[in-house]
Amino acid sequence: MTTTFDDMVNETLINLSGYTLQQDRSTYLASPITTTTSSSATPLIISLGATDSIGKGIIEIDEELLWIDTYDRIANTATVAPYGRGYHGTTAATHSADVKVSISPTFPRFSIKRAINDTIKALSSVIYSVKTTTFVFNPAINTYAFNNLGIKNILSIHWQSIGPSKEWVPVRHWDFDPIADSTAFGANAQTITLSDSIVAGRTVKVMYAGNATPFDTNSDDYVTQTGMPDSTKDLVILGASYRLLSVLDPARASMVSPQADETDSKRPYGSSGTAVKQIYALYQQRLQEETRQQQQNFPTKVHYSRR
């Protein structure tokens, strides 16, 4: 079963709702939004299923944040400010009728997606993406260039022998240059110099460690896009969760009125730190487990840089 970027966002959102014990208020679009602008001359007026929870502030439709300037509880409409489309760096888009409208969401989907991708990028320093590339061996050439592959480390090199066995013979003597001369080999080039005796015309396979690739679209499959093992999905969700929960207390730092103190009496300032520490501890535990598993699956291969 594949897991898409959208699935990862939904699972992270479920985990976060369990820690915050807060359910965002919501309604729905009564009619579609067909424009991506809201000027002062012709402001966008949104028709909603209900406005009893609507106020001046942020709403979320699909993955776009909008700033509501005014609202009409009789007509069940809300007017978007001229600066309100694509608020906080989100992308202004059209929206269909009946889609969910979240009111002042605690964790916007845009923020969750960014936290997931930030976690994937951070994991690349510890857990690598295993990738392969091939080339045809030419006995007149001993140095081969790879451009824009982002090779962090060479895991193994094999060449396919002649005969019905189709054996992949390990290459024992090779050198890797992570920053090759751009004049000789082109921009962003990395090279491998082979010293073993390989039959001409045979395919050489290079298995290497690379950085995990963050998601681009909601339909991207986790394993295919990132290149990381399927077992690391929960690790990414834990990493995104602790990143998002860590900002809850600073967001409440300005609440110093008596009313705010009364409201927060059951959830004192700093309480989210306990949840963050718990999730971070789980994250570190899973990170160590995945690191050990990857080391077992891809042990360091002995090779010689020269004969």
Query: Which H helix or E strand runs over 240?
Result: helix 233-245
Cβ atoms 30, 36 nearer than 8 A? no
Angle separating helix axes 272-297 and 5-20, nearest 10 degrees: 140
Count the Cβ atoms, other than its own, within 10 Å of residue 46: 24
Positions in the chain whose pLDDT score sits under 50 = 251, 253-260
The 10s digit of each residue's pLDDT in 3-29 is: 999 999 999 998 888 766 567 899 999
Q: Of 1, 56, 60, whose CA–CA distance to 25 is shortest?
A: 60
pTM: 0.85
For 268, how many CA atoms within 13 A lie in the half-sphere containing its CB? Answer: 2
CA angle 214, 216, 220 (to 5 degrees): 90
HSE (side-chain half, CA atoms, 13 Å) at 187: 0
pLDDT at res. 299: 84
pLDDT of residue 256: 46
Secondary structure (H, E, C), 23-53: CCEEEEECCCECCCCCCCCCCCEEEECCCCC
pLDDT tens string 67-106: 999 999 999 999 999 999 999 999 999 999 999 999 999 8
Angle at 118 between CA 24 and CA 179, to 5 degrees: 170
Strands (DSSP E) contained in the chain are: 25-28, 45-47, 57-61, 64-72, 77-80, 100-103, 129-136, 143-147, 151-160, 168-170, 174-177, 189-194, 203-210
CB of 101 closer than 8 Å to CB of 26: yes
Beta-carbon count within 10 A of 263 CB: 12
End-to-end CA distance of the chain: give it in Å, rounded: 47
Q: Domain 23-105 belongs to what topology? A: Elongation Factor Tu (Ef-tu); domain 3 (2.40.30)
For the chain, domain boundaries: 1-22+106-127+214-301, 23-105, 129-210
Q: Max alpha carbon distance in the chain (Å)?
A: 85
